[in-house]
């Protein structure tokens, strides 16, 4: 194997590969079979620890997404090594607190069993001749890490692994609590990571780290009325397995695997102060009912939070699930704001998701049951904090709280819809009135148009021209018209049947001026009114109160 450096001071790895002989292939098969047996033995060690008579603290993978991948000398990825973490002593389970308790003055001891899986890929070719000599061709040699935003393979320095411990807060897992380690003279010092080598010569590695202590205690350890404090805080013990790499002149540790324990309460007081009184914790048959005075777990050996009934799996019920809601049980009753509830519902994000396989297996969920529709607790806590609860391990959601906010939002929408319907009705009434007004206005416009058309049929200039023609045709009637006009001033009435004589009388009034015309019109008889129809081209013509004279010809213009 050759190592070279580029311009960015990052090592480039080159390997030369040889052929695979039958002996090496058989050796790989034997090691693989033995490794599977060793992995089963680790599972038996975890399940049968202490013969099952004492509940032991368990460890689970921690921040698995940040684990780095190991590679063999052929630059092929290695499978994750099976690791079992066992707390030999120092942690006692408290049923009353529903978690493990550690006394700060009493040290604890941790044993870590690491199964070395030398197989990177049973179908991959084996290395033949490499320039660098290695102790075993199946040992972890490289680790993949991120550098300047891109993945890179770097060699593990001296094939050394480091085992370290720390504590974290269960509600803030980024906050680390240092671990102390006592010397033989019981003087505590800072815990120093344990260094060991994995070179492929052994099938498993076992490391025991004794005399460990938490450097501080948890908060809110005191009792309230003889019962656990509802504000009790918890720690998690974290084990980290890391390797060391070199980036230029800088040495850096990369985490390969990490595990965290169950919740732990770290106390500094006398344990006797927290012991619960002796009581019979067995099942009892009373009045035909099977009773138990403590929390009950079905499908699990660990209750969730302070729940009295914890079920891992589905619940089938033919009846109803009810809660007490009597008014006599309640106080400080106030109606919630429906507008605020609708705003909260609008901010909720509904998602489709699937539970991680390790949790689905623990809870007894099938592949189809892993997929759900719901909300994210961390996001809901920003909108509706009272609907999110922390049971110590993870966040839970109260669906009933979301349901009642949804009901309030529906009520607000119903109110808004009613207001809109009322406004729409008012708009329809206004629109109807406007339509009636528009129809009346069109009718009045038609009448005005008819009157305008009628006036254009008999203009004043036509009347003068007609008079002129009549005067030219019959000059002798001029003197008679003047005489008739003068006599009309004293005449009691004008006969309406003789249209020719009336026309001559009106023509003669022109020479006496406008004043004489008005005088002539005033002498018209005031007989009983007779309705007449306006002669117009408009379809909207109607009866009106104009002078009751039926006229034809140019003389009609005088009356209008």
Residue 1 has pLDDT above 50, yes or no: no
CA separation for the pair 109, 88 (Å, rounded): 5
Tell me the per-residue pLDDT of 405-414, one tens digit each, with 9 for 90 and over: 999 999 999 8
Q: Are residues 539 and 437 in the same domain?
A: no
CATH of the domain at 139: 2.60.40
Q: Are residues 405 and 512 in the same domain?
A: no
CATH of the domain at 418: 1.10.10
Average pLDDT on 501-522 reads 52
Final residue in a domain of this structure, among 442, 468, 489: 442
Residue 49 has pLDDT above 50, yes or no: no
**Under DSSP, is residue 540 helix (H, G, I), strand (E, B) or coil?**
coil
Residue 483 lies in a domain: yes
Tell me the per-residue pLDDT of 109-125, one tens digit each, with 9 for 90 and over: 999 999 875 443 334 44
pLDDT score recorded for residue 516: 55
pLDDT band at residue 204, thresholds of 50, 70 and 90? confident
Lowest average pLDDT, out of 299-303, 399-403, 508-512, goes to 508-512
Residue 312 lies in a domain: no
Give me the chain's average pLDDT, please. 73
DSSP state of 543: B
Q: Are residues 401 and 514 in the same domain?
A: no
Q: Are residues 68 and 12 in the same domain?
A: yes
Residue 485 lies in a domain: yes
DSSP state of 184: T
Q: Are residues 433 and 537 in the same domain?
A: no
Residue 29 has pLDDT above 60, yes or no: no
Average pLDDT on 36-60 reads 57
Residue 127 has pLDDT above 50, yes or no: no
Q: Are residues 355 and 466 in the same domain?
A: no
Average pLDDT on 114-142 reads 54
Residue 452 has pLDDT above 50, yes or no: yes
CA separation for the pair 521, 536 (Å, rounded): 24
Residue with more model confidence, 458 or 39: 458
In sequence order, the 6+-apart residues with CB closer than 8 A to the CB of 24 are 126
Task: Give, to the nearest 10 degrees, the angle between helix 460-473 and helix 499-508.
Answer: 100
Q: Are residues 482 and 420 in the same domain?
A: no
Residue 533 lies in a domain: yes
Average pLDDT on 386-394 reads 82
Residue 466 lies in a domain: yes
555: nearest Cα among 515, 526, 524, 512: 524
Q: Are residues 429 and 492 in the same domain?
A: no
Residue 300 has pLDDT above 70, yes or no: yes
Q: Are residues 352 and 473 in the same domain?
A: no
Final residue in a domain of this structure, among 442, 470, 491: 442
Residue 201 has pLDDT above 60, yes or no: yes
Average pLDDT on 315-323 reads 83
Residue 199 lies in a domain: yes
**Under DSSP, is residue 22 helix (H, G, I), strand (E, B) or coil?**
helix
Residue 281 lies in a domain: no
395 phi and psi angles, rounded to 5 deg: -90, 140
Residue with more model confidence, 461 or 169: 169
Q: What is the dihedral of CA 382, 415, 335, 410, to 10 degrees?
A: -50
Domain count, the chain: 3
Residue reference for tokens 């780095």: 68
pLDDT band at residue 236, thresholds of 50, 70 and 90? very high
pLDDT score recorded for residue 161: 93
- Take residue 391 and report the two structure tokens written for it: 């049971």
pLDDT score recorded for residue 459: 55
CA separation for the pair 224, 245 (Å, rounded): 50
Residue 531 has pLDDT above 80, yes or no: no
Q: Are residues 431 and 481 in the same domain?
A: no
Domain containing 492 equals 458-559
Quote the strand ranges of 400-536, DSSP E.
none
Q: Are residues 518 and 388 in the same domain?
A: no
- Take residue 212 and report the two structure tokens written for it: 């460990």
pLDDT score recorded for residue 376: 93
pLDDT score recorded for residue 540: 43
Of all residues in the chain, the percent with pLDDT exceeding 90 is: 23
Q: Are residues 123 and 258 in the same domain?
A: yes
Is the pTM above the cut of 0.75?
no
Which of 117-121, 258-262, 295-299, 447-451 reaches the highest mean pLDDT? 258-262
Final residue in a domain of this structure, among 413, 442, 471: 442
Residue 137 lies in a domain: yes
- Take residue 239 and report the two structure tokens written for it: 């084990």
Tell me the per-residue pLDDT of 544-560, one tens digit each, with 9 for 90 and over: 444 444 444 444 444 44
């Amino acid at each position: 194997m050759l190592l070279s450096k580029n311009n960015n001071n990052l090592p480039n790895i080159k390997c030369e590969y040889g052929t695979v002989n039958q002996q090496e292939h058989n050796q790989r098969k034997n090691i693989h079979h033995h490794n599977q047996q060793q992995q089963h033995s680790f599972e038996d060690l975890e399940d049968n620890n202490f013969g099952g008579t004492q509940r032991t603290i368990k460890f689970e993978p921690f921040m698995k997404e940040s684990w780095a991948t190991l590679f063999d000398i052929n630059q092929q990825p290695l499978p994750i090594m099976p690791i079992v973490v066992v707390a030999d002593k120092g942690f006692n389970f408290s049923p009353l607190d529903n978690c493990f308790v550690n006394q700060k003055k009493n040290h604890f001891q941790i044993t870590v069993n690491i199964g070395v899986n030398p197989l990177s890929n049973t179908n991959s070719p084996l290395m033949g001749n490499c320039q660098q000599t290695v102790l075993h061709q199946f040992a972890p040699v490289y680790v993949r890490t991120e550098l300047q935003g891109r993945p890179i393979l770097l060699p593990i320095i001296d094939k050394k692994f480091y085992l370290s411990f720390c504590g974290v807060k269960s509600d803030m897992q980024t906050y680390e609590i240092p671990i102390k380690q006592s010397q033989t003279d019981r003087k505590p010092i800072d815990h120093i990571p344990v260094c060991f080598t994995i070179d492929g010569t052994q099938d498993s590695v076992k490391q025991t780290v004794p005399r460990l202590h938490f450097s501080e205690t948890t908060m809110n350890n005191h009792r309230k009325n003889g019962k656990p404090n509802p504000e009790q805080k918890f720690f998690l013990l974290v084990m980290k397995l890391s390797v060391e790499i070199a980036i230029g002149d800088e040495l850096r540790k990369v985490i390969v695997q990490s595990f965290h324990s169950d919740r732990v309460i770290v106390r500094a007081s006398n344990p006797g102060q927290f012991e619960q009184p002796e009581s019979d914790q067995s099942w009892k048959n009373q009045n035909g009912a099977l009773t138990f005075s403590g929390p009950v777990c079905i499908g699990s050996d660990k209750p969730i939070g302070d729940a009295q009934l914890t079920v891992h799996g589905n619940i089938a019920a033919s009846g109803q699930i009810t809660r007490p809601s009597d008014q006599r049980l309640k106080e400080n009753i106030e109606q919630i704001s429906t507008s605020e509830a609708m705003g909260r519902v609008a901010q909720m994000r509904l998602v489709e998701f699937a539970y991680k396989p390790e949790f689905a297996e623990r809870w007894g969920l099938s592949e189809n049951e892993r997929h759900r529709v719901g909300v994210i607790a961390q996001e809901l806590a920003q909108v509706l904090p009272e609907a999110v609860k922390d049971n110590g391990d993870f966040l839970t959601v109260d669906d009933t709280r979301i349901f009642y906010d949804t009901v309030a939002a529906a009520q607000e929408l119903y109110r808004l819809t009613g207001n809109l319907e009322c406004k729409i009705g008012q708009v329809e009434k206004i629109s109807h009135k406007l339509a009636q007004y528009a129809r009346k206005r069109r009718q009045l416009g038609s009448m005005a148009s008819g009157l305008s058309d009628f006036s254009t049929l008999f203009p004043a200039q036509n009347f003068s021209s007609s008079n002129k023609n009549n005067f030219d045709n019959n000059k002798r009637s001029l003197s008679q018209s003047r005489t008739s006009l003068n006599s009309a001033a004293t005449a009691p009435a004008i006969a309406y049947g003789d249209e020719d004589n009336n026309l001559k009388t009106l023509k003669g009034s022109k020479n006496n001026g406008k004043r004489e015309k008005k005088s002539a019109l005033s002498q018209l008889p005031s007989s009983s009114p007779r309705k007449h129809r306006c002669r117009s081209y408009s379809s909207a013509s109607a009866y009106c109160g104009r002078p009751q004279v039926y006229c034809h010809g140019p003389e009609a213009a005088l009356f209008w």
